[in-house]
Amino acid sequence: MKTTGRAGRPKASSRETLAEAACELFLEQGYESTSIAEITQRAGVSRSSFFNYFASKSDVLWSGLDARIAETSDALDALDRDASDADVRLILLAAVREFAPDPLALALRNVAAMGLEDELPRDAGVRQARLAAAIAQAARASGIDEIRADILGAAHAAAVLSSLRVWAEQGAGRAAPENVLRDALDLIGDLRWSR
């Protein structure tokens, strides 16, 4: 027999339940007005359970993308000196492939309703900088000079974050995020991965 939670839905993992509760509360009362205690109460779990999955309230929104950025950084680190533009693009496309609608997509689509006008761009900037640094490092490792590597990192990271935002705003689930990213990467085609 299946265990059910609220409204007869199958019981999800604590992580999913916490994320769902947080998003509901962010929509109802805004991000800033929502406490971790309220999230755990709504989810029906303990405060310590929250911190088993998330380091902070904003991590509820970003943990999925953070994991993808870490995987992308590892894949970029594994490139050899002969890495090409095509190799980097494949890694970046893999980073957004099967990116299902999640708390981040919901937040990107509902910035004003959740009261995230300040928080979301600031946190997005941190992720964009982290990804840009990983891409730039891979470029330097393949023999590209410092300035070109930094520009490549910034442009490619901006394409990834911008693509996810546009994908979410247009209705996550309507199109594949990798298609939006592919179009964005084509826009920076003049910034080829070359020495």
The model's confidence at residue 175, banded by pLDDT at 50, 70 and 90, is confident
For the chain, the first-to-last Cα distance in angstroms comes to: 61
The whole-model pTM stands at: 0.86
* 66 alpha carbon, distance to own chain's centre: 6
pLDDT tier at 3, thresholds 50, 70, 90: very low
Q: Residue 116: CB partners within 8 Å, gap ≥ 6?
A: 26, 31, 107, 110
Question: Residue 96: exposed, middle, or buried by beta-carbon count in 10 A (0-12, 13-18, 19+)?
Answer: buried
Confidence label for 125 from pLDDT (cuts 50, 70 and 90)? very high
* 75: nearest Cα among 28, 125, 141: 141
- Give the torsion through C-alpha atoms of 27, 49, 12, 1, to 10 deg: -140
pLDDT at residue 195 in the model: 63
- pLDDT band, residue 97 (cuts 50/70/90): very high
| Dihedral pair phi/psi, residue 79, rounded to 5° | -65, 145
Hey, is 118 helix, strand or coil? coil
CA pair distance 67, 88, nearest whole angstrom:
18
**Position 135 confidence tier, pLDDT thresholds 50, 70, 90:** very high
Which of 64 and 3 is assigned the larger pLDDT? 64
* Dist CA 67 CA 37 (whole Å): 25
CA distance 39 to 151: 40
- pLDDT score, position 31: 95
Q: Which tokens belong to 142?
A: 């393949």
Helix, strand, coil shares of the chain as percentages rounded to 5? 70, 0, 30
102-109 mean pLDDT = 92
Residue 133 main-chain phi, psi, to 5 deg = -65, -40
